[in-house]
Structure formats: structure tokens, C-alpha cells
Amino acid sequence: MSMVFAIFLPIILAVFIPFLYKRAKSIHTGWFVLIAPVLLVIFYAMYIPSVMDGETFINEMPWIPSLDISLVSYIDGLSLLFSLLITGIGSLVVLYSIFYLDKDKEKLGNFYVYLLIFMTAMLGVVQSDHLIGLYFFWELTSISSFLLIGYWYTRDRSRFGALKSMMITVFGGLMMLGGFLLLGIMGESFSIRELIAQASSIAEHDLFIWALVLVLLGAFTKSAQFPFYIWLPDAMEAPTPVSAYLHSATMVKAGLYLVARFTPIFALSEVWVWLVTGVGILTLFWGSFFAVKQTDLKAILAFSTVSQLGLIMSLLGIGSIAYHVTGDLVSTYTIATFAAIFHLLNHATFKGSLFMIAGIVDHETGTRDIRKLGGLMSLMPISFTIAMIGSLSMAGVPLFNGFLSKEMFLEATLSLQHFNLYAMDTWWILIPVVAWIASVFTFVYSLYFVLHTFRGKHKPELLPKKAHEAPIGMLVSPGILATLVIVIFFIPNVFGSTFIKPAVVAIHPGAYALPSEIGVKIKAWHGFDSPALYMTLGIFLVGYLLYKTLPKWSVGYEKMPAKVSLNGIYDWLMMLSEGGANSVSSLYMKGSIRSYLIYMFSAIIFLLASTMWVKDAFVIDFDNLAPIKFFEILLSLIVIIGTITILVTKSRLTAIIALGAVGYTVALFYIIFKAPDLALTQLVIETVSVALFLGAFYHLPKLNKHEKGKEDRKFRLTNFIIALGVGVMVTLIAISSHSQKLVTSISQYYKDTVYTEAGGGNIVNVILVDYRGFDTLFEISVLTIASLGIIGMITLRLAKKKGDRKVENK
């Protein structure tokens, strides 16, 4: 299996899912889907030994050779880690969905098609070495996640959340594309590897900062950084398997991947260090502070994801300082990058399990409202155990993997005191202080999530369903992730040397690579002289006190103005844009086809006339013209008479006959000019058109006042001016184009190459199929879309008639 084929394996399987869904109704579709991620996990696992030894792999498939655009799959330590997360967590999510989604009630064909498309998109993002290919997959993640979030499209909140996520992430994607284009201009290449190789020269370019900011906008919007995080909580309207997948291993991690991958290029700028670190720390605090306010289990986890993403982002920013120091300090800051990747792995395990537990609670009790929950520990002991493991890991408590990476995070923030460039020696103290406060709130919302749900008083009267433990099949996936949470804590160096260190080396290549001993000495205990130890003790103590007094101080959230918020600003901008668009549209959207034709033809006249005037293109030269024959004059008179007849006749039947006469006469012109294929096409079209007009003759509406000759002068004058203007312009363009040959006619090229290059004998057919193949393809696409629309309208009309008959029968 080639690496490029492996990327597209899920989307290839997606083609067959609708057929499997319809044919194999007795088997849950998820069992068929599970094949793809499991195979891919095995496939990517085979690269682990080689990547650990520092090898990289590349596989290229030409996509648009004329533009030098290829689909390039590049596997190193960073892309391999993400690929394993995408496919590994993906396998567990699919397994979980088999028991979570009812095959008799849900449209599983749609769900799994969207999920597989999303999986391909994510694999493409993390493996693409070509910037345009990366952007293609990046936007495919936005489209597929839009479909997944809006899966329950009959719900208003689902549609709203899907649209919101797409608006924000696509905006960021377009900004990122601008940054990619600037990188391509500066480095004269769209290969990420080649751009990294010339990073020092790119950093001196005038466009460097612009590219940096634009790329970060793409990363910040996708990874829900402040202030763009607002799409993430609304994305909770998606089914829980989708939420677990998007938050633990895929969608929100794409921005982190982008920052990590482009660190070797942009880290040379202090702007990168400040933006990535500052935005990350702010997001960490903001998400943790507002997570405590939430009452929906998935909303708590959504804001916690925002918080954890900010933590990882800030670590990547601190790690990029390694490009600005020398000596032992290089290792000091590359450890921050190690902590970022380590926490990214840990977050995937505990957050995936917690989202699945939130779905289980919803599935088995009928609600996610934490105010209605409580006392579920005795009724759902396995779920409680898994939730406790995940929550304590998220809180950074010992014996769970989150503690290890959280300690490394605190140490990384304290290491900023050694960096005295760019005013960091003055402002560095704010970062560990904000990080400590955010960690306190992280401890609070972690306890809040698990204890308010499973401890306390049981409230069966508030639950839509009688609470009970989930079936074993639904517990397998979160159980595996919870087990990994504990396993990683006790053998962290195995995971560190196998997965984390190769990824860090990919982020800090060359002189900035980690020393061999770093990445294999993760320790839970650093001694009493470690400042991080006392910061952690303070987090536990203050966090527990805040949790116990939560009812007293949480009322402060209610006093915050709801209208003055980022969500309020987004809603205002959307209403403003919609209102402005409606106001502009109302100026010209009058509901009259005649008005629209006037706008279009007027624009054609103005644009063509002004262009020809500016370019001094009005040239009339009748030299070298072929003699005009009697038959051509006769046919021209017939066309003129027929056209005038259409305009002046008061009989529709006469107008239809005159229109057919004009069309058939034009076909005769084609015959005279030795174009029999065009003549045949014209004859067929005219025959069909006349037949359709005559067939619809009976159903045409009554003549209106204009058709009866009662038009006012303004109506007639407008028609006359527009018709005369278009006719004159087309005639002048035809004469001018013949009178002056600015470039050599392309006809000779077709004559020379139509047989030798295209292998065809009919020049017109070859031009349509080969030389203008895209035009023909788009025309076919338009016809297909129109046909589908017609079929849809007919189907709806028939369905409405059947419904009316049923009502009458009743």
C-alpha cells in the first residue's frame, strides 16, 4: 500500500458505504467502516522502528502537473504521531459509535461517509508536504466537519453550530492560503521541506511577517484559540462520537500541527514567539475560567478542550525560543516542545474517554444537564471509574499521564526567566502566574465534571430515562483510553522515545535536534527543590477550596453581561452582513426576469464599449473579404424577416414558427460555410425547441398588457435601446476582430496538432473533448445539477400530491 493511497483509503471506502448500508441492514454499518482505520493503524505502525532511527519517507503522486502541484505524502516523527492518533482514536470512535448510534433510527450511511471523508482529510493535512495539497485537505476538514456537526440537520442548534464552525474555520483557511502563497513567492517553492531548508533567507524577506500572521490565523481558528474559540462549544451539537473524535485527535489538533510543522520556518522571528505563547496562555486561562460556568457535560468538556489546546499552543511557543539561544538553553526550550507533544498525546487519551463517558451518561439517562445529574456512581460504576481516571488526569493529579505533562508545562513557563530577549526578562513572570491560575480552574472543572455527575444525591425524578450502566460494547473504547492514561504514567519513557522524541526532532531539525538522552528521562518526582512541585501543591489546595465553595462564588458568572461577548459580536457581525447583503440585493432583485436581462445586457454594453474605446479597438477594414453570394443575401433576408416577425406578431403560434424559421436558416448558413456537424447540431436543437414550444403552447399563461400592444413608451424605448446597443456592440466587435489581428490565429495550431497530438480526425470534436475538455466537463456538470434539481422538484410535487390524497381520504 503506497502512502498516498493510504491517505485516500477511507474516502475510497466511503464510496461503498451507501450500498452496504442499504444491502446489509441486519449488520451495523460501523463494522464495515471499522476496517479502514484498523488497517491504517497497522500500516502506520510498521513505520515506527524506522522513524525512531531518524528515517523519513516520501511518496508523490502528480495532481496538476502543468501547475507543478502534486499530492506528496511525507512521513517523519511528527506526521507519523498524528497519523497514528487519527487512525487509532478513529478506530475506537467507530467502535464506540456502533453501540452508540441505533442502526434502525439513524442515517448511518450519511454519518460514516462524512466520518471517512474527514479521516482522509486529516491524514492529508498531517502528511502533505506540498502547501497547496495541505490547503486542499485543510478545507476538506472544514467541509466534512460541517457535515458531521450538522448531522442532525433537523435541529436548529445543529445547523447553527455547523455553519458557525465552517464560517470561522474557512475564514482562517483563506488567510492561511494567503500565507502559503507568500511563502511560495519568497521561497520559490511550495514544498515545506524546501522552505525549511531556506528558512534563514526567507526570514529576511519583507513579506515574512505577513506570511507568519496569515498562517497563524489559520492555525488559531482551527485549534479554537482566543478569540476564535467560539465555534467549538456550538460544535457540541454533533453526535458524541464526532465530538470525541474532533476534540481528542483530529479537527482541533490540526492547528497545533500547523504551528509545529512551520516552527522551523517562522520561529526565527520574535513575533512568532510572542504570538504563539501569548495567545496560547490567554486561551488556556479563558477556556478554564469559563468551563466552570457550563452546565452541559459536553460544554464543560468543550471549554476544557479550548483550555488544553491553549496549554499545548503556549508550549509550542516557548519551545520555539530554542531557535534564539545557544548552548544548554537549546535543550531547556526543546523540552518545552517535548512537553507540548507529550501533552497532545495525553490529551487525546483522557479527553477522548471523557467525551465518550459524557455520551454514555446522555445515552443512559437522557440528559447531559449536570444540574439534573448526581448519584450515578452506584448505578454506573464502570463509567464512574473511567470518568474519574480521565478527570484526574485532566486535573494533573499523580498516577495519571496528565500529571507528567502538566509538571513539564509548569517547568517550561518558569524557564522563561533565562530568556532575556524581546523584553521577555520583564514580562516573563506573567506567564507562569496566568498558567498557575488557569491550572487552578482546570482542577476545579475536572472535579466539577466527575463529582457533580456521579457523586451526591441521585435525582431520578429529573431524568428522562431510568439510569443504568451502559452496555459493555460502549465501554470498551473509553476503557482502552483510560487504561492508556495509567499505562503512560508508569512507562512514560517508552512512549517518549517511541513517539514523542521523533516528533520533536522533526520540529527542531539539524542543530536544534534533541540530545540523545532527552526524551527518555520523564520522571514523576523531581525532588523538593523543584518550584513546579510547590506550584502543583498550591493548585491542588486552592483548587479544592474553590470547588468546595463553588456555589458561593460561581454566581459571579451570572453578573457578566451576556450581550457583550465574543458570541454576541459574532451574531452581530452575521446579522450585519446578512442585513447589508439583503439591502444591496433588494436594490436590484425585483423578481422580474426582464429587469435582470436589462442589468446584464447594460453591463455588457458598457464594459465592452469602454474597453474598446480605451484600447482604441474600433477598426473597420473590408479588405480581403470573400465575395457575398446570392444565397447568403437571400438567407440573411429570411433571418431578418423572421426576427422582425417574432417582434411584431400578436400570435404566439406565428412567433414560434418564425423562431423555427430563423434557426433552420442559420443551419443553412453552416452548410454553406462547410460545417455540417454544426448544421446537424443546429437542426436538432431547433427541432427540439420548436417541438417543446408547441408542446407547452396549451399551458402558456394569458397574454399580458405588453403582449397586447399596450406597452407604454418607456417600456418600448428601454427594449429598443438595449437591443440596439447589444446588436451594435456585437457587430462592431465582429468587424473589429476581423479587421485587426493582434495575435496569430489559433486555428493553424489546431490544424497542425489535432491529429498528431490529440489523435482525432474531426477538428471540432477534438477541440470540444480535448482542448476544451474542462469547458465540456463543466457544461455536463451544470446539466447534471439542473437535472437533479428538476428531479427533486418533480419528486416533491408528487410527494405533495400523495400527501394531499391521503388527507382527502381521511
User: Which among 191, 190, 298 is positioned nearest to 248, based on CA atoms?
Assistant: 298
Rounded-to-integer distance, Cα 310 and Cα 286, Å? 9
Rounded-to-integer distance, Cα 545 and Cα 138, Å? 43
Rounded-to-integer distance, Cα 171 and Cα 218, Å? 8
Is the separation of the CB atoms in 277 and 225 below 8 Å?
no
Rounded-to-integer distance, Cα 94 and Cα 89, Å? 9
Rounded-to-integer distance, Cα 186 and Cα 182, Å? 6
pLDDT mean values, one per 10 residues, the chain (810 residues): 90 92 86 95 96 92 84 94 96 95 88 96 96 95 94 91 94 96 94 93 94 97 94 91 89 94 94 94 96 94 95 95 82 89 96 96 94 93 96 95 94 85 74 95 96 92 91 95 96 92 88 48 83 94 95 84 76 82 80 86 91 83 78 90 86 86 91 85 89 78 53 77 90 82 77 81 79 82 90 78 58
Tell me if residue 57 falls in helix, strand or coil. Answer: strand
Rounded-to-integer distance, Cα 134 and Cα 183, Å? 13
| Strand partners for 34 | none
Is the separation of the CB atoms in 736 and 612 below 8 Å?
yes
Per-residue model confidence (pLDDT) at position 367: 93
pLDDT digits (tens, 9 = 90+) for 737-773: 877 776 777 788 888 888 887 777 778 778 877 887 7
User: Which among 222, 305, 169, 229 is positioned nearest to 565, based on CA atoms?
Assistant: 229
Judged by phi (left if over 0) then psi (alpha if -120 to 50, else beta), residue 421 lies in: beta
Return the H-helix or E-strand segment holding 69.
strand 69-75
Torsion of CA 524, 527, 531, 534, to 10 degrees: 80
Per-residue model confidence (pLDDT) at position 560: 74
Per-residue model confidence (pLDDT) at position 548: 93
The whole model's pTM is what? 0.81
Is the separation of the CB atoms in 588 and 599 below 8 Å?
yes
